[in-house]
Amino acid sequence: MAFRRRNKSYPFFSQEFLIQNHADIVFSLVIFILIGLMFEATAKTAILFIQPQYNVTTLSPEGEVTLYHYGWKDFATILFYFFIVIILHAVVQEYLLDKVNRRLHLSKSKNTKFNESGQLCVFHLVSSVWSFYILITEGYLLHPSSLWENYPHVHLRFQVKFFYLTQLAYWLHALPELYFQKVRKEEIPRQLQYICLYLLHISAAYLLNLSRVGLVLLFLQYLSEVFFHIARLFYFTDENHQKMFDLWAVSFVFTRMVTLTLMFLAVGFGLARAENQGLDWEMGNFNTVLIRMTVLLLVCLTQSWLLWKFIRFQLRRWREFRHEQAVRKKAATKQTLRPLKRDSREEKDISSP
The CA distance from 73 to 47, in Å, is: 11
Residue 92, CA distances (Å) to 177, 192, 193 in order: 13, 21, 23
pLDDT in tens, 174-222: 999 999 988 888 889 999 999 999 999 999 999 999 999 999 999 999 9
pTM, entire model: 0.88
Above 50 in pLDDT, residue 349? no
Is pLDDT at 271 greater than 50 in this prediction? Answer: yes
Strand partners, 57: 66
User: Is the model's pLDDT at 112 over the cut of 90?
Assistant: no
| Per-residue confidence (pLDDT) for residue 104, from 0 to 100 | 84
Domain definitions of the chain by residue range: 80-326
Please tell me the predicted confidence (pLDDT) of residue 336: 65
Strand partners, 68: 55, 156
Amino acid letter at 117?
A: S
pLDDT of residue 240: 73
77, 262, 273, 291, 292 from 298: Cα distances, Å:
28, 14, 21, 10, 10
Residue 305 has pLDDT above 50, yes or no: yes
| Nearest one of 223, 42, 45, 240 to 132, comparing CA atoms | 223
Distance CA 32, CA 140 (A): 39
Are the C-beta atoms of 253 and 314 separated by less than 8 Å? Answer: no
Furthest C-alpha separation in the chain: 112
How confident is residue 257, by pLDDT bands cut at 50, 70 and 90? Answer: very high
Cα–Cα separations (whole angstroms), residue 142 to 65, 131, 145, 200: 21, 15, 9, 28
Q: Which of 269-273, 331-335, 336-340 has the lowest mean pLDDT?
A: 336-340
- Integer CA distances (angstroms), 45 to 42, 53, 86, 245, in order: 5, 12, 22, 48
Is 156 in a helix, a strand, or coil?
Answer: strand
